[in-house]
């Protein structure tokens, strides 16, 4: 029977497919696809881990002291039986061979399947065996950690438009959609350009990084769909309505037909927009508006150029640093990555933001809990300044890449003037280090992100030292309204049109324009077509967003007359309820 789960609409479009449920496990595990050629080795790795645990338990059994309680031996026996159970062993093998999951992912998926069976059992004794099964799985996962993976996490299978995904077995040619409790930014990257046609997570807010990466992939996503990962089962057919924030499970044929119709309609709309790709972005009254792309990886440059971006307004470099289990990329590796992004942009400018980790973007899974209040902790530029050697490695790599194209260097979460002085000193030092080596490097423009209210309020002082500013509305809203951007429980209070937020944005744009300095918005507000006219009316001429949003925003720009929008924007700015005036700007 069809049922619906409500969440937040974070990435437009409709996806229909079979659910791949990523089970939450007590131990943090990585999820990635292996290559078909690695299946045998991966199955062997899973088996070796299982065999090692069997050995360990057998040793424990034989070493049990005489006076050990009988229950202990019985328990170990149960664990040994479970370890040899074909349902567990065969299931893991199947997920690896048929779906190309890495061994850990295969194990937690199978564990979840079996857990559901246990939940349905009448007999309380058998139901309780679920806990034993979890302990056994934990032991195997710990063993797997010790056993080198047969594969470096393989890049997810690349799917060119329209081609069949390579990872599916013949029996499951249906499109796949991913359902999870939560996905780390690192997991999202693994899944980028994979076979998945949509995402559903149980947690997350509108500007959580799961949402941002889904938007950058331009695939439908719903986050904050509570209990989705419990209510949806492996291989259930689901519809993800990324426009309305609804997930429909087990849809009836009539509902399916309706959504297929909507899918076709969306596709036609996209084709129509694609015709605007080469149209210059100019308003009716002749004002040029710069439309830039936000990217997470160098390879995203292709999508940016394809969408007609005139540059990259935000390269979130932290994605190069994530999920590497402590081994951060060195100068050479980073230099190559930045160079690839520049070359990909074919001579167009690229704004590279220095590493912005912390809060909802931990470097590795599991490292989030280190601070009690991570959003207010040692994150972004604060972390870079606390780790000057790491920071200068990144600065040197960016400066060297700047010899290959136009680079703007952007610093996240600046809030104090003494940070500005430290940043500039580190840049000079990095240049001196390159000079000492005789290395070639380029000239860069320096900019600050405005994403903390304090920074917005001192923007005039900041712009005495920086060439440009970029407004990060995702964090600016979070910090102005004290709303955790990743927490679905307060998502209804996350309001871009709050008068306080608009006041800060307007002040930054006005000050920068007044000082003849560049100002851009690179938060999610820049890609929201409901806000394009307002931002234009407030004086913004540079927007940076996911490539997938560029053409829709361009359409708004082409229809806008700034002479009319300016007076209206000033009224919106002083209104108690700006949202009620938005219709009037159309």
Catalytic positions, please?
Answer: 209, 522
Q: Go through the chain and tell me how many residues it has.
A: 586
With beta carbons less than 8 A apart as the criterion, state whether 473 and 505 touch: yes
CB of 473 to ligand PEP, least distance (A): 5
For every residue of 499-538, which 3-state class applies, written as one string? HHHHHHHHHHHHHHHHCCCEEEECCHHHHCCCCHHHHHHC
DSSP 8-state assignment for residue 546: -
SS3 state of residue 266: helix
Chosen residue from 298, 358, 523, 585 binding ligand PEP by CB under 6 A: 523
Interatomic CA distance for residues 388 and 393, integer angstroms = 8
Interatomic CA distance for residues 570 and 37, integer angstroms = 62
Q: Which is nearer to Mg ion, 224 or 472 (CB)?
A: 472
CB of 392 to Mg ion, least distance (A): 22
Span from 24-32, 37-45, 234-242, 469-477 in contact with ligand PEP (CB under 6 A): 469-477
Subset of 61-90 contacting ligand PEP (CB under 6 A): none
Chosen residue from 181, 351, 384, 473 binding ligand PEP by CB under 6 A: 473
Chosen residue from 104, 187, 451, 528 binding Mg ion by CB under 5 A: 451
Exposed (0-12), middle (13-18) or buried (19+): which is 177, by Cβ within 10 Å?
A: buried
> What is the CA angle 134-41-101, rounded to 5?
50
Query: Which of the choices Mg ion, ligand PEP, none does residue 523 contact, using the CB cut-off of 5 to 8 A by kind?
Result: ligand PEP
Subset of 309-338 contacting ligand PEP (CB under 6 A): 314, 316
Chosen residue from 17, 374, 453, 472 binding ligand PEP by CB under 6 A: 472
- End-to-end Cα distance, the chain: 42
Q: Which is nearer to ligand PEP, 7 or 527 (CB)?
A: 527
Q: Which is nearer to ligand PEP, 281 or 473 (CB)?
A: 473
Chosen residue from 7, 308, 472, 585 binding Mg ion by CB under 5 A: 472
The residue among 448, 336, 311 whose CA lies nearest residue 400 is: 336
CB of 391 to ligand PEP, least distance (A): 18
522 binds ligand PEP (CB under 6 A): yes
Say which residues have a Cβ less than 8 Å from residue 77's Cβ, sequence separation at least 6.
Answer: 61
With beta carbons less than 8 A apart as the criterion, state whether 191 and 154 touch: no
Subset of 352-381 contacting ligand PEP (CB under 6 A): 356
Q: Which is nearer to Mg ion, 104 or 296 (CB)?
A: 296
Query: Which of the choices Mg ion, ligand PEP, none does residue 149 contact, using the CB cut-off of 5 to 8 A by kind?
Result: none
Chosen residue from 475, 488, 524, 528 binding Mg ion by CB under 5 A: 475
H-type alpha helices, 319-403: 331-344, 380-386, 388-401
How many Cβ atoms sit within 10 Å of the Cβ of residue 63?
Answer: 8
Span from 263-271, 274-282, 471-479, 563-571 in contact with ligand PEP (CB under 6 A): 471-479
Q: Which is nearer to ligand PEP, 110 or 415 (CB)?
A: 415
Q: Which is nearer to ligand PEP, 322 or 562 (CB)?
A: 322
How far CA 228 is from CA of 22, 244, 259, 337, 367, in Å, comes to: 11, 16, 20, 36, 24
CB of 473 to Mg ion, least distance (A): 9
Which residues in 292-324 are b (16+ Cβ under 10 Å) and which e?
Answer: bbbbbbbbbbebbbebbbbbbbbbbbbbbbbbe
Number of residues that bind Mg ion (CB under 5 A): 3
Query: Which of the choices ligand PEP, Mg ion, none does residue 220 contact, using the CB cut-off of 5 to 8 A by kind?
Result: none
Q: Which is nearer to ligand PEP, 233 or 416 (CB)?
A: 416
CB of 451 to Mg ion, least distance (A): 5
CB of 199 to ligand PEP, least distance (A): 17
104 binds Mg ion (CB under 5 A): no
Number of residues that bind ligand PEP (CB under 6 A): 10
Span from 99-107, 214-222, 468-476, 508-516 in contact with ligand PEP (CB under 6 A): 468-476
**Pairing of the two strands 8-11 and 444-450:** unpaired
CB of 401 to ligand PEP, least distance (A): 20
Query: Which of the choices ligand PEP, Mg ion, none does residue 110 contact, using the CB cut-off of 5 to 8 A by kind?
Result: none
The residue among 302, 297, 350 whose CA lies nearest residue 321 is: 297
Span from 118-126, 225-233, 448-456, 495-503 in contact with Mg ion (CB under 5 A): 448-456
Q: Which is nearer to Mg ion, 475 or 488 (CB)?
A: 475
Interatomic CA distance for residues 205 and 10, integer angstroms = 8
Distance, CA of 546 to chain centre: 12
Exposed (0-12), middle (13-18) or buried (19+): which is 520, by Cβ within 10 Å?
A: buried
474 binds ligand PEP (CB under 6 A): yes
Q: Which is nearer to ligand PEP, 224 or 412 (CB)?
A: 412
List residues binding ligand PEP (CB under 6 A).
314, 316, 356, 451, 472-475, 522-523
List residues binding Mg ion (CB under 5 A).
451, 472, 475
């Amino acid at each position: 029977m069809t049922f619906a789960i409500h969440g937040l609409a974070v990435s437009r479009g409709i996806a229909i497919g079979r659910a791949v449920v990523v089970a939450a496990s007590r131990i943090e595990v990585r999820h990635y696809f292996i290559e078909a050629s690695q299946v045998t080795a991966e199955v062997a790795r899973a088996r070796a881990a299982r065999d090692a645990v069997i050995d360990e338990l057998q040793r424990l059994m034989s070493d049990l002291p005489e006076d050990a309680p009988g229950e202990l031996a019985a328990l170990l026996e149960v664990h040994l039986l479970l370890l040899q159970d074909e349902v567990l062993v065969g299931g893991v093998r199947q997920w690896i061979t048929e779906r190309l999951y890495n061994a850990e992912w295969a194990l937690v998926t199978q564990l979840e399947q079996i857990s559901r069976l246990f939940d349905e059992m009448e007999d309380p004794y058998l139901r309780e065996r679920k806990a034993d099964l979890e302990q056994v799985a934990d032991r195997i996962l710990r063993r797997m950690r010790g056993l080198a993976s047969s594969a470096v996490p393989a890049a997810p299978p690349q799917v060119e438009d329209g081609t069949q995904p390579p990872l599916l077995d013949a029996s499951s040619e249906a499109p796949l959609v991913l359902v999870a409790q939560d996905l780390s930014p690192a997991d999202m990257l693994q899944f980028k350009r994979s076979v998945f046609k949509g995402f559903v997570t149980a947690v997350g807010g509108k500007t959580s990084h799961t949402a941002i990466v889904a938007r950058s992939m331009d695939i439908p996503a719903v986050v904050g769909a509570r209990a989705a990962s419990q209510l949806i089962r492996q291989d259930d057919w689901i519809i993800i309505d990324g426009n309305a924030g609804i997930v429909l499970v087990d849809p009836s044929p009539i509902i399916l037909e309706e959504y297929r119709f909507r899918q076709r309609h969306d596709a036609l709309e996209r084709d129509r927009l694609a015709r605007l790709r080469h149209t210059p972005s100019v308003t009716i009254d002749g004002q040029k508006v710069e439309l830039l792309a936000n990217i997470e990886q160098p390879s995203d440059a292709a999508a940016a150029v394809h969408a007609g971006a005139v540059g990259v307004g935000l390269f979130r470099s932290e994605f190069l640093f994530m999920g590497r289990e402590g081994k951060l990329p060195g100068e050479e590796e980073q230099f190559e990555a930045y160079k690839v992004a520049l070359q990909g942009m074919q001579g167009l400018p690229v704004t590279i933001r220095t590493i912005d980790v912390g809060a909802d973007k931990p470097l590795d899974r599991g490292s989030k809990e280190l601070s009690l209040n991570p959003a207010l902790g040692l994150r972004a530029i604060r972390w870079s300044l606390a780790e000057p050697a790491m920071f200068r490695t990144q600065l040197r790599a960016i400066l060297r890449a700047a010899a290959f194209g136009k680079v703007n260097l952007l610093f996240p979460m600046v809030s104090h003037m003494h940070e500005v002085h430290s940043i500039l000193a580190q840049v000079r030092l990095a240049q001196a280090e390159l000079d000492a080596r005789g290395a070639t490097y380029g000239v860069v423009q320096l900019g600050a992100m405005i994403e903390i209210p304090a920074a917005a309020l001192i923007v005039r002082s900041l712009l005495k030292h920086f060439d440009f500013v970029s407004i990060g509305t995702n964090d600016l809203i979070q910090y102005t309204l004290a709303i955790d951007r990743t927490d679905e429980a307060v998502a209804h209070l996350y309001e871009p049109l709050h008068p306080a937020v608009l006041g800060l944005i307007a002040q930054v744009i006005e000050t920068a324009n007044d000082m003849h300095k560049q100002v851009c918005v690179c938060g999610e507000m820049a890609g929201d077509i409901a806000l394009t006219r307002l931002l234009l009316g407030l004086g913004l001429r540079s927007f940076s967003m996911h490539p997938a949003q560029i053409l829709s925003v361009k359409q708004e720009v082409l229809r806008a007359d700034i002479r009319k929008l300016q007076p209206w924007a000033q009224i919106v700015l002083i209104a108690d309820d700006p949202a009620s005036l938005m219709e009037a700007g159309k």
